[in-house]
Amino acid sequence: MKIEKLSFGTIEIDGKTFTEDIVINKGKISLRDKSVSRKYKPKFGHTPLTIEENIPWDCKTLIIGTGFYRAMPITKEVFEEAEKRNVKILPVNTQDIVSMLKQINLKETNFIIHLTC
């Protein structure tokens, strides 16, 4: 899996361009459905990552690109669920995902990538 382009609001992976947040689960890319989390936006000032989303838990490590300015909040329930499942959560600036994808075993690591803020 190769990121060929990453800029605010856009990521290109293996020749395919995405302009919405994505989830990488076992090397397969899908769009993040954050509609269930939008109701929490007034509380956090930004749509957070919540336990109500379809989080790819079947991994040892879940790397979360929290945006270019690390503005995407992650609720405490996500961290609590990760602990129960023995999944390490690693929140990072979205720009750091480029170098991480080169080094990570995609069979053990999943990603949620926020492309703006």
Q: What is the pLDDT of residue 95?
A: 94
Tell me the mean pLDDT in the region 92-104.
88
Domains and CATH numbers, the chain: 21-113 (3.40.1230.10)
Instruction: Answer whether residue 101 shows pLDDT above 90.
Output: no
Q: CA neighbours within 13 Å on the CB side: how many for 56?
A: 26
Residue 60 in contact with residue 87, Cβ under 8 Å? yes
Q: Residue 2 — very low, low, confident or very high, per pLDDT cuts 50/70/90? A: confident
Whether the full predicted model's pTM is greater than 0.75, yes or no, is: yes
Q: Tell me the per-residue pLDDT of 17-59, one tens digit each, with 9 for 90 and over.
A: 999 999 999 999 999 999 999 999 999 999 999 999 999 999 9
Instruction: Answer whether residue 103 shows pLDDT above 90.
Output: no
